[in-house]
Amino acid sequence: MLIIHMEDKRGISPVIATVLLIAMVIVIGLIIFLWFSTFIEDEGTKFGRNIKLVCEDVGFDASYSGGKLSIKNTGNVPIFEMKIKISSAGSHETKDLKDLSSNWPELGLNQGKTFEESVNIGADTDKIILIPVLAGSSDKGKTTFVCEEQYGYEITI
């Protein structure tokens, strides 16, 4: 007759195993939450609204003639900065108007104000699109937001 003698082996207690499983789930959940939070932008606000929605209220007229760019803020939203998309011969590049002009107002173009200055955009330029940049506030402090191109002003040259 074969006798099998089992030694007294002890495993981890069920309470400790449960605590370890819960701790691992919490740590994995925290890692996933922090990873996903990097994909979410902190949207700024302006006038108590999401700054993306304020772009709809921006109004301005612009013209470019003889190398002189003129912009008038006709809306009731101050335009902090302006991006200029320069299109020529099938290509384009976007620049800050501040880089092309030394006279852009430091605090932006307020309601009813006009900006006018000679700006060199290149001889082979077909069209330019002026895209407003708004200043707002967020949890991290002051923030800027570039409006979508659909809120810009297109000038054919």
Distances (CA, A) of 85 to 2, 26, 135, 152: 89, 47, 20, 10
User: pLDDT per residue over 53-103, tens digit each?
Assistant: 888 889 999 998 888 999 999 988 999 999 999 898 888 889 888 888 778
Mean pLDDT to the nearest integer, 36-43: 72
Whether the pLDDT of residue 43 is over 70: the answer is no
CA-wise closest residue to 135 among 74, 65, 77:
77
Selected residue with higher pLDDT from 48 and 73: 73
Amino acid identity at 44: G
Kind of pairing between the strands at 68-73 and 81-88: unpaired
Assigned CATH for 45-156 = 2.60.40
- Mean predicted lDDT score pLDDT of the chain: 85
Q: Check whether 123 has a pLDDT greater than 80.
A: no
Give me the pLDDT at residue 130, please.
93
Query: How many angstroms separate the CA atoms of 57 and 18, rounded?
Result: 56
| Cβ atoms within 10 Å, residue 1 | 2
Residue ranges of domains in the chain: 11-40, 45-156
- The residue-averaged pLDDT of 110-138 equals 88
